Amino acid sequence: MFRKLALYFFILLSSMPTLAQKSSFDGVLQAYWLPVWNEDVNEPQLKYRFFQLENAGADVKIINVADNKLVIKLLEQDYPDFLTSQQGHVEYHGVITVKDLKEREECDMRFYDGTMMSFSKRNNSAKDISIDKLEELAGCQSYPYLITYTLKPRVKGVYLKNAPNKNAKKTVLVPSNKSLAQIQKINADWVLVAVYDESKVPPLGYPKGYIELDNLQPVN
């Protein structure tokens, strides 16, 4: 009886998609600001994910990891503007140690969640690695930091500008039937945008230019 119970629990535990022990991986740690909308106000949250490099970068395991004070210290040292602007993403090449690694499926892909125990950045920069390629391999989670907009229904005949001010030169009429992807938020009134284009990596198409936020409504 006890042997059967022991065997049952062994099989049950071994079949669970959780690795309770610590595991270390080499790859790229990405910190990014996830847009969280409260009506039309963005209250971004700082998130982390790790791209484990496999087969010389041809395959990638994506591990979403929780906040970590060690990484915050690295960001304060290396990317203070990233923390204050609360937009975009930055990367480090290094080795991560995680525990409680859990597997899940989303959009026909495998993703992982875990608790970050430590991270050691390598001396060589993540700039030597194609971040665009890694993000492309993430499928439906390729660009979680990307903010997209459409024109508000009342807005007609708005032009992109070549600088973020009302007196700047008009460049191109904003297409009313297209989504716009934010490249950079300039200030509380202006953003630099591009037409969202799924055929490109990242999905930033043409035209590009500056537009007042008052003309836009968020999509995501």
pLDDT number for residue 157? 84
For residue 216, give the nearest of 32, 37, 33, 34 by alpha carbon: 37
pLDDT number for residue 133? 87
Domain 148-218 in CATH 3.60.21: no
pTM across the whole model? 0.83
In the chain, CATH 2.30.30 sits at 148-218
pLDDT number for residue 12? 44
Between 1.10.357, 2.40.50, 1.10.1200, 3.40.50, what CATH number should domain 17-141 receive? 2.40.50
In whole numbers, what is the pLDDT of the chain averaged over residues? Answer: 85
pLDDT number for residue 80? 96
pLDDT-above-90 percentage for the chain:
51
Average pLDDT over residues 81-108: 92
Average pLDDT over residues 165-188: 93
For residue 114, give the nearest of 179, 177, 187, 62 by alpha carbon: 62
In the chain, CATH 2.40.50 sits at 17-141
Contacts with 218 (C-beta within 8 Å, 6 or more apart), sequence order: 35, 37, 40, 42, 147, 148, 149
34, pLDDT greater than 50: yes
pLDDT-above-70 percentage for the chain:
85
